[in-house]
Chains A and B, each alone.
Chain A
Amino acid sequence: MPTGTVVPNADAVETRLWYSERVSGRSAPSFPRSAVDHLDALYRVARRLTGSDEEAEDLVQETYTRALAGWSSFKADTNLRAWLFRILRNAHIDSYRRAQVSPVREDGGHDADATDASVGREPLRGDAELERLRSVVAADIDAALASLSVDARTLILLDLEGFSGEELAGILGCAVGAVKSRLSRARETLRERLRDYRD
């Protein structure tokens, strides 16, 4: 995608990815058993989103329940994996809202903790940050991830699962350009947090 190109709005992305009428428009005949192939990836993301084995299991179970219930709306030419992750993300927002732990941003706006890593900050000299990053362990990363907003954490985890910018835009319901800038800020913030843990 050329620089600065921004899909006009989230609806356009969503419509293209999820409810496209451009091919046959027919729903797949039955829920594919191959959907279970994505179970480990869904669980992996769910576990890091929720921070708990039990909640992750509930979230994944809820994801498949919703997917089965909503299968008739799935179009044959859409991306099953991204569709499942979209449902997981929606289910997580629902459970989060229910728990009322903290507000979840859904409007594509910037998370407070994803904006504090400013572009103009002084870079570490002597590759000190690189050395720190090379020495972090899984527990450091888990703790740093857990300290991020749900939105920033979700972006980083989905990116780690290999989704493209366009797929992320479809999952999160926002424009590709917004996804890239939010992901960039989220990763900067994660690095800041990792420095904090190692200082």
Chain B
Amino acid sequence: MDCTQVREHLKDHRRGALPTELAEALEAHLAGCDACRHEDAADRELSLALEARLPKRQAPGHLRRSIEEQVRESTRPPARATRAFTAATVAAVVAIAAAVLLLARREPDAMVAEALNDHLRVLYSTHPVDVEGADVHRVKPWFEGKVDFAPVVAFGGDDDYPLKGGAVAYFIDRKAAAYVYERRLHVVTLLVYRADGLPWSTAATVALGHVRAAVRTTRGFNVLYWRDGDLGYAMVSDLNLQELETLGAKIAGG
């Protein structure tokens, strides 16, 4: 065991988290190494300083109240017409339908909001792409090792819809591969991410090649999103819907 290995395990050793054999090897090294004994003592002092002298800040009250309210709202059960059919009123039936529709749409809408936020980050950033390139064969390999899937994008840009490059983005709780295209002066962000566990809407869909994509318009931006196998795709732009669908069809492929 050399000094580098010893120092990586000092903290676990102090916590008693090392297997016996490893702990014994580490102690044998410490017995004969002044430098590592010093490191152990200094690292212990650092832990004491961090734990004892840094104030334990608490979240401000207004933040706590805001988040508690947000969580409470999200966990509030949807209104149910418990006696819907006892009165057999049309109003009750409408209420149930509305509640079901609201429940079905809520989670996909959160996904649309997240896609829009990612697009806005691209627009606001002075360096929207980490890898530049008008060739998808240059951009795609760049993502290797940066995201935990292989993004499948059939379209590498052309004169009408040039590909400007790519960047790693975050989509809710997972990494996403962001491709940035342009159409005249409009920026189009394509997000590709693992689709598992995310809600998918089947309402208001259009055909994009061999898939069907959901369509949303929010805050003046058009959003198309679809699922193809294990991957999810979301396209966001202020480009008109017809041209966005044209680009979407190229990306989805035949």
Q: Please give the residue numbers on chain A whose beta carbons come within 8 Å of chain B beta carbons, in ascending order.
A: 1-4, 10-11, 14-15, 18-19, 27, 30-33, 35-36, 39-40, 42-44, 47, 53, 57, 60-61, 64-75, 83, 86-87, 90-91, 93-94, 97-98, 100, 106-107, 119-120, 123-124, 127, 129-130, 133-134, 136-138, 141-142, 156, 159-160, 165, 173, 180-181, 183-184, 187-188, 190-191, 194
Contacts and interface: CB of A to CB of B under 8 A. Distances in A.
16 contacts: A3-B1, A33-B68, A36-B71, A39-B59, A69-B113, A73-B198, A87-B173, A98-B124, A100-B127, A106-B168, A123-B38, A129-B45, A138-B54, A141-B50, A180-B8, A187-B43
Interface residues of B, number: 70
B74 A73 contact: no
B89 interface: no
A59 to B, nearest CB: 11
Interface in B173-190: 173-175
A159 B10 CA distance: 14
Nearest to A123: B38
B146 A106 contact: yes
A86 B50 CA distance: 22
B42 A47 contact: no
B199 A33 contact: no
B187 to A, nearest CB: 15
A100 B67 contact: no
Interface class of chain A by DSSP: helix
Given A35-B71, A73-B197, A119-B7, A100 B59 contact: no
Interface string B43-84: 101101111011111111001101110111011000000000
A70 B74 CA distance: 12
Contacts, number: 186
For the complex of A and B, list the 4 residue pairs with the smallest distance between their C-beta atoms, beginning with the closest: A73-B197, A70-B172, A69-B110, A43-B59
A61 B66 contact: yes
B71 A31 contact: yes
Contacts of A1: 19
Contacts of A3: 1, 5, 9, 22, 25
Interface of B: 1, 3-5, 7-12, 19, 21-22, 25, 34-35, 38-39, 41-43, 45-46, 48-51, 53-60, 63-64, 66-68, 70-72, 74-75, 107, 110-111, 113-114, 121, 124-127, 145-146, 148, 168-170, 172-175, 194, 196-199
A88 B168 CA distance: 16
Nearest to A11: B148
Nearest to B195: A73
B56 A44 contact: yes
Given A98-B125, A141-B49, A180-B9, A67 B42 contact: no
Given A70-B110, A98-B125, A187-B11, 8 more contacts: A2-B22, A39-B67, A73-B198, A90-B175, A94-B121, A107-B145, A120-B3, A187-B46
A129 B42 contact: yes
B39 A123 contact: yes
Contacts of B9: 3, 180
A10 B121 CA distance: 26
Nearest to B174: A73
Contacts of B107: 69, 72
Contact of A33 (B45, B59, B72, B194): B72
Contacts of B46: 133, 187, 190-191, 194
B74 A68 contact: yes
A148 B173 CA distance: 26
Nearest to B171: A70
A24 B68 CA distance: 29
A60 B50 contact: no
B67 A61 contact: yes
